[in-house]
């Protein structure tokens, strides 16, 4: 097992990564001494609820199983959770346990942030995306019909328990979506890790435990370091270190909006967005075309899309990207690669280069 800490002073917390962790009561820390309520979804419950229940000695009334999927990340679910917590009288010193992917983690974390003005919670992420991204860093929240993740709070967990065994039941497309975020970390912050991914992608896809543990650890180390510097994405008017985690995401959000958040998984849209960010960086002369091609080849080998959906035109990208949160004073800010393994936030790029990238990807 590997453990690393997210260094946030008094709110510092550990991330444990490895196989067979769910049944090790000692890893749940103080949670074993607290009144607990666990939130999960129906898919995850079928596989992992029995072992977590047994380890934490949870009774029936302490568990809430919600429908799986993004449609659960709503204010209506928050109300349902609040009703359940009040009906079962979770005291203020009680903790919530989030067992599941990013949907359960974001929802349970947000509920923990508001129940009786805030209780503690722990994250037990069961998707690769949640293990390398959403369970770490304290962003919690739900969607609103007018926008994704529009209602939320920063609320850090007390610990994260990433059991790599849980990935064995993950549908292959969901594993791919997580791999896109792992590749993102290499591109934005560590060219050597990108090289390691090129060597070890096949091992990751066949769920080799040591390879998964290393990839999750390296991803979490990078995210933890960024979160420790810029916990609330508030530095430099939102263009500071934490914004770098959004490499590829401006293009991805345009694709997700264009496809109405249904046809593509977020990680799949990020995969194509990473290709587009690398292509634009190469057109600006910041990375070489060979380096951009390397990124695209790795993403394709992970079984991820490297082109936008058929029919999506440059004008669709332009219209949808201008709605992006990263537009400051009317100017589009993009996360680009100054070098392979070094992302920057830039509003100062040649508009003709962006036009060329959009034309290339909508041809």
User: Is 331 labeled as catalytic in the residue annotation?
Assistant: no
Q: How far is the CB of 3 from ligand GLY (least distance, A)?
A: 20
User: Is 233 labeled as catalytic in the residue annotation?
Assistant: yes
By the 8 A CB rule, do 123 and 160 touch?
yes
242 near ligand GLY, rule: CB under 6 A? yes
What would you report as the CA-atom Rg of the chain, rounded to the nearest whole angstrom? Answer: 20
Q: How far is the CB of 285 from ligand GLY (least distance, A)?
A: 28
Q: State which residue has the least CB distance to ligand GLY.
A: 245
Q: Which two tokens stand for residue 98?
A: 């989030």
- In eight-state DSSP terms, residue 358 is H
Q: Considering beta carbons, is residue 27 or 66 the nearer one to ligand NAD?
A: 66
Helix ranges (DSSP H) in 122-190? 128-129, 172-189
User: Is 231 labeled as catalytic in the residue annotation?
Assistant: no
Q: How far is the CB of 266 from ligand NAD (least distance, A)?
A: 6
Q: How many residues does the chain have?
A: 363
- Computed from CA positions of residues 338, 298, 324, 326, in that sequence, does the dihedral angle turn out positive or negative? negative
Q: Considering beta carbons, is residue 233 or 279 the nearer one to ligand NAD?
A: 233
CA 348 to CA 65: how far, in whole Å? 47
User: Is 360 labeled as catalytic in the residue annotation?
Assistant: no
User: Is 54 labeled as catalytic in the residue annotation?
Assistant: no
133 near ligand GLY, rule: CB under 6 A? yes
Applying CB under 6 A, which of residues 18, 94, 101, 137 lies at the interface with ligand GLY? 137
Q: Considering beta carbons, is residue 56 or 162 the nearer one to ligand NAD?
A: 162
**Where does this chain bind ligand NAD (CB under 6 A)?**
41, 43-44, 47, 68-70, 73, 100-104, 106, 126-127, 129-130, 133-134, 137, 139, 149, 166, 169-170, 174, 177, 266
User: Is 117 labeled as catalytic in the residue annotation?
Assistant: yes
The one catalytic residue among 242, 283, 294, 333: 242
Q: Considering beta carbons, is residue 181 or 190 the nearer one to ligand NAD?
A: 181
Element (DSSP H or E) covering residue 249: helix 249-258
User: Is 12 labeled as catalytic in the residue annotation?
Assistant: no
Residue 154 β-bridge partners:
139
Conformational region of residue 261, where left means phi above 0, alpha means psi within -120 to 50, and beta covers everything else: left
By the 8 A CB rule, do 127 and 182 touch?
no
> What is the distance of C-alpha 34 from the center of its chain?
28
CA 248 to CA 184: how far, in whole Å? 8
Q: How far is the CB of 335 from ligand GLY (least distance, A)?
A: 11
Q: At a CB cut-off of 8 Å and minimum separation 6, what does 315 contact?
A: none
Applying CB under 6 A, which of residues 37, 43, 53, 139 lies at the interface with ligand GLY? 139
The one catalytic residue among 73, 139, 283, 333: 139
Q: Which two tokens stand for residue 75?
A: 């204010």
Build a one-symbol-per-residue string for 265-304: x at contacts with ligand GLY by CB under 6 A, - elsewhere: ----------------------------------------
Angle at which helices 249-258 and 314-321 cross, to 10°? 110
Q: Considering beta carbons, is residue 35 or 238 the nearer one to ligand NAD?
A: 238
Sites of contact with ligand GLY (CB under 6 A): 133, 137, 139, 242, 245
């Amino acid at each position: 097992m590997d453990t690393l800490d997210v260094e946030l002073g008094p709110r510092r917390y550990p991330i444990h990564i490895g196989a067979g962790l769910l049944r090790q009561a000692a890893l749940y820390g103080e949670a074993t001494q607290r009144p607990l309520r666990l939130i999960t979804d129906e898919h995850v419950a079928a596989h992992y609820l029995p072992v977590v229940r047994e380890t934490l000695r949870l009774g029936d009334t302490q568990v809430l199983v919600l429908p799986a999927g993004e449609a659960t990340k709503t204010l209506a679910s928050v109300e349902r959770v609040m009703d359940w917590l009040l009906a079962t009288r979770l005291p203020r010193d009680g903790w919530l346990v989030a067992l599941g992917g990013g949907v359960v983690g974001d929802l349970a974390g947000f509920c923990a942030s508001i129940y009786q003005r805030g209780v503690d919670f722990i994250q037990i992420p069961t998707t690769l995306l949640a293990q390398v991204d959403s369970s770490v860093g304290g962003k919690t929240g739900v969607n609103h019909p007018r926008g994704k993740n529009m209602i939320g709070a920063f609320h850090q967990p007390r610990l994260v328990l990433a059991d790599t065994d849980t990935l064995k039941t993950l549908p292959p497309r969901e594993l791919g979506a997580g791999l896109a975020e792992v590749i993102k970390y290499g591109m934005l912050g560590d060219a050597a890790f990108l090289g390691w991914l090129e060597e070890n992608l096949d091992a990751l896809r066949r769920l080799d435990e040591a390879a998964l543990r290393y990839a999750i650890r390296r991803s979490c180390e990078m995210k933890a370091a960024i979160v420790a510097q810029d916990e609330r994405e508030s530095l430099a008017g939102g263009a500071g270190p934490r914004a770098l985690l959004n490499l590829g995401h401006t293009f991805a959000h345009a694709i997700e909006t264009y496809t109405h958040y249904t046809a593509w998984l977020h990680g799949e849209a990020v995969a194509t967005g990473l290709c587009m960010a690398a292509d634009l960086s190469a057109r600006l002369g910041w990375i070489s075309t060979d380096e951009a091609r390397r990124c695209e080849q790795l993403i394709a080998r992970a079984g991820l899309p490297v082109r936008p959906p058929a029919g999506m035109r440059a004008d669709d990208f332009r219209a949808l990207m201008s709605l992006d949160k990263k537009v400051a004073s009317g100017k589009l800010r993009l996360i680009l690669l100054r070098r392979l393994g070094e992302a920057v936030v830039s509003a100062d790029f040649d508009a003709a280069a962006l036009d060329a990238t959009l034309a290339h990807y909508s041809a």
